[in-house]
A and B are shown apart, each in its own frame.
Chain A
Amino acid sequence: MLRASARAGVGAAGLALVGCGDDDDDDQQQAMAQAQQQDQDQQQAMQDQDQQQAMQQQAQQQQAMQQQDDQAEQQAMQQEQQEQSAAEAQAQQEEEQAVADDNIDYNATAIGAYGAFPQILDQGSALARGGQSASNNYHFGAVFPLDPFGSAVPGGLAEWEFVGAEALIVRMNEGRTFHNGDPVTAEDIKFTIDRLTGKAEYNPEYNSAWTGELSWTGDNELLDENTLRIEQGAPSVDAANSLALGGFPVFPKNYLEEVGDDGYGQFPVATGSFKFVEWSPDEYIKSVRNDDYFNDREYAYAPRLPYLAGFEARLIPEIGARVSALEAGEVDVANSIPPDLAVPLGETGDYNVFYHPAQRGLHIKLPMTIEEDPYNPGQPNPWRDRRVRIAANLAVDVDAITQNIMTGRENYTYTLSSGQFGFPEELPEQRWGYDPEEAKRLLAEAGYEDGVETDLIYLSGLYTNDQLFMEAIAEMLREVGFIVNLIPEDISKFLGEARNKELVAPYLFPQSAGFTSIGSMAISVDSAATYEHRVEVLSDERAEVDRLIAAAKTEFDTEKRRELLSDLVRIHYLEASWIFLFELVQTHVAASRLHWDPYFLQPPSVELWNLKSMKT
């Protein structure tokens, strides 16, 4: 009951008002007591309800005030962190920049080779999502800009203001235009949210890719031509962040209604830093710099006015052919090149190799919510025993895998991403190391001297060298006593089985941390998440993880939210809830004239707006 009310965003506010919000156990007891009393006395319950509603209103007012303070505090903290992290490199950068800026070729165009193209160019559609969206997401600009940590900041197309946990007010900034010159209005933002949540009148069946990110939205209302009020149907601290995500598309209502979904998918008009020019499906996508882009190059946040005058994305699916095209000088950037090809190119001195974390903490999900052992019916599921899960973590030498099979730049993962908000800094001190002897001892202590039989499923061909590192993991697990049957699966088959909760074995999963750590944790860590094993029974610790996620979603106090997420990551890791592997790194190779100093601490892809072509 408490979880339900917390999800609805009223429990926390109501309890906070009566002074019980600091202690979760007290909250729970009070809520249960209220429920019992309601059962005994209906009239009293109605009075309680009225009282609670009044309390909620007061709480929301209080929260709104607190929210403003929190926002200011958060921004101040982020600003401070940003300044600290930038200070060390600032002097050197300024000197280099002074020289480098003179050498930037602002008339240069660049050609980038990609391994996949979207089927259509509408970033709002589920058909355009996935890795291939990198080849045209720069046409789109979100409502709010982002700081280097990946958090939304007011500015860009609009400013925002929370009305407690009730609503988000969006106020448009002047002078913002779409690529076709039309002004961006509050009505366009309303249309965008309606379209992405299946409420747009022209096509309620639109196959949106953003329903999950916008699940917090309720009704929305134009207060005036520049102001939109978006009700928080399911209050979330990620509300503003979700409108700032990379690739979030703001649609021009008039244009889209004129050309329809089909027309828009072929010729997108948006607010991004690059303007779409033309494309030939399966061949190229041509774009030019949006010279009317409202955030100039001195703007504090991102994205900004690009340095490149134009960009052409070219589809070259075969990796070897992509590298050849780079070597032949036909393209300037070859995206997603495996390290074994990229590193030697970088060593020649003729190319720059760009590395960036893929923000995906690779891990193996363990079926710890299933009661029986699927391979020995009637027996308890060994993965419910913490000792078995720890043994599995101790068995895998992650560092050896990253050094010998991957690039060597991958970080060990403790959760989705060590850069995510609320990551407990002291957690690395408690890392499960590589200790096969201790793993054997734990298995024996848990009563599995004869081994633990299990399948191990992974998505074949999705990531560089995935077959190699999964073979290595399987072998390491076998070394300590797990009887592993490694099963590669096709992605669509896997996704279907996972979605239908048909998988009972451990499986490799690559959930993206994205920019909204709470949302990503909810998608990946919550026991009810779409791609989790089915839930038959929860341990106390697992239930606590679910509770912390629900609480963090509606905790507007920045520090409290940070603590909740820290607790969540800590418990989840120390319970050995997954076999923790590593954070993937993506590798791209560029001609030496192209320079990229990442703005984001964890960029999701090469920042095209931030790519500089130097004069040669």
Chain B
Amino acid sequence: MAAHLIPRLLQSIAVVFVVVSLVFVGSRLIGDPIEAYAARNATEEAIEAQRDRLGLLDPMIVQYGNFLWGVLNLDFGDSIFSEQPAWDEVSSRMWATVQLSLAAFVLILAVGVPVGVLAAIRRGSIPDLIARLFALVSQAMPNFWLGLVLIFIFAVQLGWLPTSGKGGFENLILPAITLAGFGMAATMRLTRSGMLEVLSNDYIRTAQAKGLAQRTVIVRHALRNALLGLVTFLGITLAQLLAGSIIVEVVFAWPGVGRLIFRSISLRDFPLIQVGVLLIAVWFVVINILVDLSYNFLDPRIRVGSDA
């Protein structure tokens, strides 16, 4: 187990280092933040003074060295625009994004997997047809449009839920459904196809021939095997929910980190971009490691192989 985990951790650190370095270079390629930062009637001297203050006049290699040293010390500098510590800016919004992502993920699991199983075991039936239609529509619909439609129906017309903002639990429902839309459909389709494949195997027929209850056959024998392929997808989905919630955050005025990064990119606020992307990179890496580890528990063959 340790032999499997340690190389993966070292590999992950290398990945994070490469991502962070690319972000450093990339954020400087998109332009000079001072053009957006300086007052419109600022003099050239004032603009140069601001560049100097932010260290932008240093050679690139010096800026890179300072940046890496800061990362090692968890000091990411101050946001150019809000003048608050970049880490504080991002971390203060992180919980809102995590909340939204987890809620969406729970929905994906709670809806995508059972509906996929149901569609598989009742292949060709009306529930299967409805499930496939739902999946098709959900995957074809842009989530900003879905969000606006949901707002119109459930907030404006029915008045059941608030349109936007971050208040209580009720504020979480519409953005979570919107964010989960694509993932639910994809999970449902993957679960259905995985289950159909597994259900056609001999060992399922054997289990059924042994007289095991249908529920036991489905849950213990079929679903567990079908899950193996699904886990990788769900891992990537969870990571993407965190990184890809920008549009949903904008539509629902959800004060999360996605919107902050999006705005930071348009303003070229380097420190915020760097912290945000670093967090997302770390998040992806952690999820990948967890997915790898989950294989050990889900598939005994992998566990035996790695132990050997």
Contact = CB atoms under 8 A, between A and B. Distances in A.
A565 interface: no
Contact of B35 (A284, A318, A496, A530): A496
A96 to B, nearest CB: 32
Given A324-B148, A328-B162, A119 B31 contact: no
B42 A282 contact: no
A116 to B, nearest CB: 9
Interface residues of A, number: 43
A328 B37 contact: no
A211 B46 contact: yes
Given A318-B250, A327-B156, A495 B35 contact: yes
Contacts of A315: 253, 255
A129 interface: yes
B203 interface: no
B39 interface: yes
B163 A325 contact: yes
Contacts of B250: 317-318
A495 B266 CA distance: 14
B82 interface: yes
B37 to A, nearest CB: 7
B84 A262 contact: yes
Contact of B42 (A205, A211, A317, A320): A211
A325 B164 contact: yes
A41 interface: no
Interface string A293-327: 00000000000000000000011111011001101
Given A211-B42, A328-B162, A280 B156 contact: no
A212 B83 contact: no
B102 interface: no
B50 interface: yes
Contacts of B159: 328
A369 to B, nearest CB: 20
Given A315-B253, A330-B162, A212 B39 contact: yes
Interface string A475-502: 0000000000000000111011001000
A495 B40 contact: yes
Contacts of B163: 321, 324-325, 328, 330
Interface string B54-83: 000000000000000000000000010111
A468 interface: no
B148 A492 contact: no
A49 B232 CA distance: 86
B40 A530 contact: yes
Contacts of A281: 82, 92, 255
A17 B163 CA distance: 68
B189 interface: no
A492 B156 contact: no
A281 B156 CA distance: 26
Interface in B248-304: 250-253, 255, 259-260, 266-268
A127 B165 CA distance: 24
Interface string A331-370: 0000000000000000000000000000000000000000
A127 to B, nearest CB: 5
Contacts of A210: 39
Given A127-B83, A265-B83, A283 B165 contact: yes
Contacts of A280: 255
A126 B37 contact: yes
Given A208-B39, A495-B40, A119 B81 contact: yes
Contact of B39 (A119, A211, A328): A211
A265 B82 contact: yes
A88 B266 CA distance: 49
Given A315-B253, A324-B156, 13 more contacts: A198-B46, A261-B83, A280-B255, A281-B255, A283-B166, A283-B253, A314-B165, A314-B253, A320-B151, A324-B155, A496-B35, A499-B35, A530-B40
Interface of B: 31-32, 35-43, 46, 49-50, 53, 79, 81-84, 92-93, 144, 147-148, 151-152, 155-156, 159, 162-166, 250-253, 255, 259-260, 266-268
